[in-house]
Amino acid sequence: MTEGKSVRSWPLRWMWIAWPAFLLAGMQEMLVFALVDPEDLKWAGAPLPLSRMGIYSIAFLVFWGLMVAATALTMLLSLSSSEVNQHGTVAPGAAQPDANADDRC
């Protein structure tokens, strides 16, 4: 895979992560709030100081964040080792870590 093609594919990969996560978060939101009334929710024994719309919004963002994490992990696990290692954090020209350092006594 060439560097230019790899750079262009990351926005596409993020779209593959964010869109299914968005759809799943919406479905999860409908399922949870079909069973739970937001005004019945309590935090440390006190009612939440938010409106229904505020609770719906925050819950959706939390659900979306969890789904993004899950789908991003799935995407990461589907990458080949060469794709993962191609985008390492070592700066060009910096010394590479020694792979056999743990084997030495």
Which ranges in 1-105 belong to alpha helices (H)? 3-35, 52-78, 81-86
d(CA 76, CA 83): 10
Q: Give 42's strand partners.
A: 47
Q: What is the pLDDT of residues 8-29, one digit of tens each?
A: 577 888 888 999 999 999 999 9
In angstroms, how far is CA 28 from the centroid of its own chain? 16
Q: What is the pLDDT of residues 59-97, one digit of tens each?
A: 999 999 999 999 999 888 887 888 777 765 555 555 555
Quick check: helix, strand or coil at residue 2?
Answer: coil
The pLDDT score that the predictor gives to residue 77 is 87
Q: Are 26 and 69 in contact (CB under 8 A)?
A: no
In angstroms, how far is CA 4 from the centroid of its own chain? 24
Q: What is the pLDDT of residues 44-58, one digit of tens each?
A: 888 888 888 999 999
Q: How many CB atoms lie within 10 A of CB 67?
A: 21
